[in-house]
Amino acid sequence: MILSANGIAVTSFAAPEVWATLIQVFIIALAVLAGNVLRRKVKLLRRSLIPTALLGGLIILLIKLWPSFNSIIDKRFMETVTYHALALGFISMSLRPSKETDRANTRTVIDTGTLTIATYMVQGIIGLLVTVPMFLWWRNPDLGRDIFYSSGLLVPMGYGQGPGQALNFGTIYQLGAADQGINFHGIDFGLSIATIGFLVGSVVGVIYMNILNNRKKLSIHENASESKHTLKDYEQKDDLPHSESVDKLTIVVSIVLLTYFLVYLLMSFIGGLDLGNFGEKTLKPLVYGFNFFWGILFGSLVKIVIRGLRKKGWMTREYLNEFLLNRVSGISFDVMIVAGTAAISFENLRAIWLPLTIVCVLGAIVTFFYVRWVSLRIYPGYGYEGFFSMFGMLTGTASNGMILLREIDPRYETPAANNLVLQNIPAMVMGFPVLLLLGFAPKSLNATLITLGILSTLFVVATLFLFRKRK
């Protein structure tokens, strides 16, 4: 900002702060483009099914190895983008028009949701069985104690939920550890697990797929048909006409942002309440950490309101365009993956590399064998299709599960893809108490041990439910 001759403040567009935010956006965009080029031109990367967004994030990580470039990447900005992109992606998904579900598949959908939550629980159990003993008996000779007893619960957040939730709970655990005088880099720990999870889902999934292909247990469809969208996919009944003075995407993005604004108002209201010591250190961090959940809730409410207005004839246009909402959620999750990976600090990982390695390796092994064991049981006739879709999702995101599934079921002829989408509803209902437990655990070591006991009990119950008698 500069002063003109008459003393009026005028913004100088040459000032570095004017471009600071955009430079970080440029970095994310360039990383995505570079990742896309690598995936398209390097056959090994293309066959590995590693997401383009992850490749972009890894490129930024490699660049950060040079100190001069490392200072250019704004870690806090990347964390902020990851946080908001998670909520925007879920809001876009929750605003999509509801579809009729096949009642005959209700049981399988519930089983799929149960498998999702059971896998979260076993990932958390394995994580705690590593981090609690390491907290009690392991010390980094250079840095002292640098592992938090409840940090093993970041395994299901990183593997099962992805960078957004890994960041949210990593922040909660980092703050909880700091309150107890423990120097723990929870954000880097969680984001690193999420990044490794993408690699596990893609690389391990492809390797196992090729093993089964060589054993003639399934067929990999080389160069599976790429889905292409036509004008019919874009158009919906009562859509905004192209002659309108506003673009359809502008309206869709505005509705998504308005919904997120409602989320912000709710979180700000709760954040402004005087809830005492418990509220400040326990409730408020959870409220802000659950921005994605409030996004789903308000997205569903906004959709109901719009549907009501449409029924009464007060709204004549269809503004919730499914195709455009899918594009908004896709952009949000791609940006989330790039920014979340870019936010990892190598310097902070130096202190936690050993527990990080152990929980990631054991978490991958347990996830692989548990999901395969259950999938071959609950998906008769398409066990491997069900396995690859769920394994990809439970180490990365739902899109990773769909990518793996497309290699052996390119036209989604089995119910696996439908199960993957519809399981979100039962999984959300069953998973909310688990998320509350994850928020309770970092209060103390006893709270973590109680959480471990409850998770173990719930895991046994969920597994017995999955293996109940079937007609």
Q: pLDDT per position in the chain (471 positions), as tens?
A: 555 556 566 666 677 777 888 999 999 999 999 999 998 888 888 877 788 888 898 899 888 888 777 778 888 899 899 889 988 988 988 888 765 544 447 788 889 999 999 999 999 999 999 999 999 887 665 544 578 999 999 999 999 888 888 888 898 899 888 888 888 888 999 999 999 998 898 889 888 988 888 888 776 655 444 555 555 566 666 666 665 677 888 889 999 999 999 999 999 998 888 777 666 666 777 788 778 888 888 998 999 998 888 888 787 777 788 888 888 988 998 898 898 888 888 777 777 888 899 999 999 999 999 999 999 999 988 889 999 999 988 998 777 887 888 888 877 778 887 787 778 778 888 888 888 888 889 989 999 999 999 999 999 999 999 988 665
| CA 391 – CA 428 distance, rounded (Å) | 18
| CB of 308 closer than 8 Å to CB of 320 | no
| CA 428 – CA 84 distance, rounded (Å) | 20
The helix/strand/coil state of 2 is: strand
How is residue 50 written in tokens? 């590693």
CA angle, 329 then 300 then 389, to 5°:
50
| CB of 442 closer than 8 Å to CB of 169 | no
Kindly provide the b/e burial profile for residues 252-267, where b requires at least 16 CB atoms within 10 angstroms of the residue's own CB: bbebbeebbebbbeeb
| CB of 259 closer than 8 Å to CB of 295 | yes
The helix/strand/coil state of 10 is: strand
Q: What is the pTM of this model?
A: 0.80
Residues 6+ apart with CB under 8 A from 101: 109, 422
